[in-house]
Amino acid sequence: MRLLTFKKGVHIPDHKSKTNQCAIVDTPPAETYVFSLGQNGGAPCTPLVNKGDRVLRGQKIADSEALISAPIHSSVSGEVVAIEPRLTNKGMQTCIVVKNDFLDETVPSMKEQGNSPKTAEEIIKIVHEAGIIGLGGAGFPTHIKLAPPKDKVITDVIVNAAECEPYLTSDHRVLLEETDDVIRGLLLVMQVFGLHTGGHIAIEENKPDAIALMRKQVPDGIAVDILKKKYPQGSEKHLIYAVTGREVPTGGLPADAGVVVINADTAASISRAVYEHRPVLERVVTVAGGAVNQPGNYRTRVGAPLSSVIEAAGGFSEEPAKLILGGPMMGVTIPSVDMPATKTTSGLLAFTAAEAEPPVHSHCIRCGRCASLCPMNLLPLELDKKENLGDWDACKELHILSCIECGCCTYICPAGRRIVESIRRAKTEIRAQGRRNG
Ligand code: SF4
Ligand code: SF4
């Protein structure tokens, strides 16, 4: 079996065995839903509703005129009880708060059968209106990906089903349980680019059941590519290299290599939007970690409190020492589950004190391991040092903005240097400087 891969990266335990065989379970409805206006990548949305309005399930409640943004829809029917700042995974953000009336009254269009769209423009418009974004975590609006500059010739479309982050198995379950939707979504994206061949479903070798199922189901023109289990295999640039052998130039986009990459759940959402008129209203969240009673994969509505997802997972078995949204490598640490699920909530990890124990933090011993494994060929030790000195010019010269924040350097460092945290701080400062200087 030929395994596709990229240069450098790390081999890490995947910790997926507790949830990868857990079928998706629906979480019970909650009393209140909170929709963050800044949950999509790009410009935040503006509310289209006011306090006191009644909204339906599937109704567009916020949108933006900005080129890079995507609308937000209510996942329940009920009353808008507030539009106010609330704590989210991105800090305090303005949110629309809807009190659920438990009637699940949906917008009429969601009850109609969708038609097969004929043109690329029709598909892109549906994807935009449905609020589809990169559901793997990045949150970049998908309709922008489907309309690259005219001079870019797209020859390949890759469904990113690497799911290389430890613990996460939500995409794995989507591949197994929503197989047809994933394939139909990929075919629609291929249709956008007029492709009859060049479709790929790229899956890491640790999902043999999904590989076998997809191989049985895919039509001609789509290859099922098996990826070596290595982190960060799901990073777009590294995935493109593994599958096509092409390199995305520094500062470039996948379209520069003739490729469009979409996440597996995003592909399924495209199919549902086109054929069922369904916007993004829910997603699958892997709940895992030693502090959870019933680790598994839970389908939750966007806007539901994370506490309701934990409740569906049997609650905490002990007070978690650390909570992470997303995976342990690239996810964000959150203070509590008193915040809403968003379209990009792929995982919710609750670690015990033993699991969360931070490594000892000491001086760099200049072993060079971080540089030898950095998949972007950067010098993490130097970036860490320059950030500590506040030398932003040196950070820029060391190409800090090319860092994909994969965390390989932090993972491998024997001195426990929190390198990726330094890098994030420096990038935030450099971008703020750029805004200040116009
Ligand atoms: S420097 Fe950035 S890209 Fe390189 S290993 Fe560290 S986090 Fe990953
Ligand atoms: S891995 Fe850690 S100790 Fe080794 S060179 Fe990099 S920062 Fe220094």
Q: What whole-number distance in Å separates Cα of residue 337 and Cα of residue 249?
A: 39
DSSP 43-73: SPPEESS-TT-EE-BT-EEEE--SSS---EE
User: Would you write out the chain's pLDDT as a tens digit for each of its 438 residues?
Assistant: 789 999 999 999 999 999 999 999 999 999 999 999 998 888 999 999 999 999 999 999 999 999 899 999 999 999 999 999 999 988 899 999 999 999 999 999 886 776 777 799 999 999 999 999 999 877 899 999 999 999 999 999 999 999 999 999 999 999 999 999 999 999 999 999 999 999 999 999 999 999 999 999 999 999 999 999 999 999 999 999 999 999 999 889 999 999 999 999 999 999 999 999 999 999 999 999 999 999 999 999 999 999 999 999 999 999 999 999 999 999 999 999 999 999 999 999 999 999 997 777 889 999 999 999 999 999 999 999 999 999 999 999 999 999 999 999 999 999 999 999 999 999 999 988 877 776
Centre of ligand 1 to C-alpha 378, Å, is 7
pLDDT at 438: 65
Q: Which residues, 6+ apart, have CB-to-CB distance to 199 below 8 Å?
A: 156, 157, 159, 186, 187, 190, 218, 221, 222, 223
Centre of ligand 1 to C-alpha 288, Å, is 25
Centre of ligand 1 to C-alpha 70, Å, is 29
Alpha helices for 82-204 (secondary structure H): 120-129, 142-145, 170-177, 179-192
pLDDT at 339: 97
The protein residue whose alpha carbon is closest to atom 7 in ligand 2 is 381
Residue in the structure block whose two tokens are 């001195």:
415
Q: What whole-number distance in Å separates Cα of residue 157 and Cα of residue 187?
A: 9
Closest approach atom of ligand 1 to CA 380: 1
pTM, rounded to two decimals: 0.95
Centre of ligand 1 to C-alpha 403, Å, is 5
Q: What whole-number distance in Å separates Cα of residue 264 and Cα of residue 163?
A: 9
pLDDT at 362: 87
Q: What whole-number distance in Å separates Cα of residue 266 and Cα of residue 137?
A: 11
Which residue ranges have their beta carbon within 6 Å of ligand 2? Answer: 364-370, 380-381, 384, 412-415, 417, 419
Q: What whole-number distance in Å separates Cα of residue 262 and Cα of residue 200?
A: 10
Which fold does the domain 120-276 belong to in CATH? Answer: Rossmann fold (3.40.50)
DSSP assigned state of 113: P
Class of the domain covering 29-104: mainly beta
The protein residue whose alpha carbon is closest to atom 4 in ligand 1 is 374
Closest approach atom of ligand 1 to CA 370: 5
What would the CATH number be for the domain defined by 282-356?
A: 3.10.20.600
Angle at 251 between CA 246 and CA 255, to 5 degrees: 50
pLDDT at 114: 66
Q: Domains of the chain: which residue ranges?
A: 29-104, 120-276, 282-356, 369-436
The protein residue whose alpha carbon is closest to atom 4 in ligand 2 is 367
Alpha helices for 224-330 (secondary structure H): 236-244, 264-276, 306-312
